[in-house]
Amino acid sequence: ALEEARASRESEAMKAAAEMEGQRASLRMALEATGLERERMARERALSTTAKAQAEATLRAQQAELAAERSLLDNAKAHVAAEAAEIASARASFERERAAFAEDVEALKHLSVRVHEESAAVRDASHHSSRQLAASRQLASIAEVERAAADEAR
């Protein structure tokens, strides 16, 4: 019976040792799986960090590009505003010159009317003077003829 008990205990011990070895193998496999999972998670974390850094770099580049475009737009707005002011100034100058030109045209029209009136008066005076000259010549001719007749009669 002692032998049987010893054999039974040895059998139980062997079973327990085999069971322990099975549990150890299970634990080693679980530990290996946990290590593999940690490595996978570390790779994913590294990829995620890299992707995040790339996204942030892309965002910063886009923000810099937007800032540059905004600066160009602000410069273009300032240029357009300066050109608009220059055009307004040129337009005002043009309007002043146009008004002065209109005044000059009116003055020239008035002067033209006066010149025309004076020219007509001079023409009338010239015709009158020509008629008087003709009349004077005719009278001088008559006086000459009469003087000659008077000289002959003497």
The string of DSSP letters for 90-134 reads HHHHHHHHHHHHHHHHHHHHHHHHHHHHHHHHHHHHHHHHHHHHH
Question: 136 pLDDT band (50/70/90 cuts)?
Answer: very high
Say what the pLDDT of residue 4 is. 86
Please say if the pLDDT value at position 154 is more than 80: no
Encoding tokens for residue 11? 């059998």
Answer yes or no: is pLDDT of 1 > 90: no
pTM over cut 0.85 = no
Please give the Cα distance from 57 to 64 (Å, whole number).
10
At 154, is the secondary structure helix, strand, or coil? Answer: coil
Mean pLDDT of 48-70: 97
Mean pLDDT (the chain, rounded): 95
**One-letter amino acid for residue 75 of the chain:** N
User: What does the pLDDT average to over 22-37?
Assistant: 95
pLDDT score, position 59:
97
pLDDT tens per residue across span 65-99? 999 999 999 999 999 999 999 999 999 999 999 99
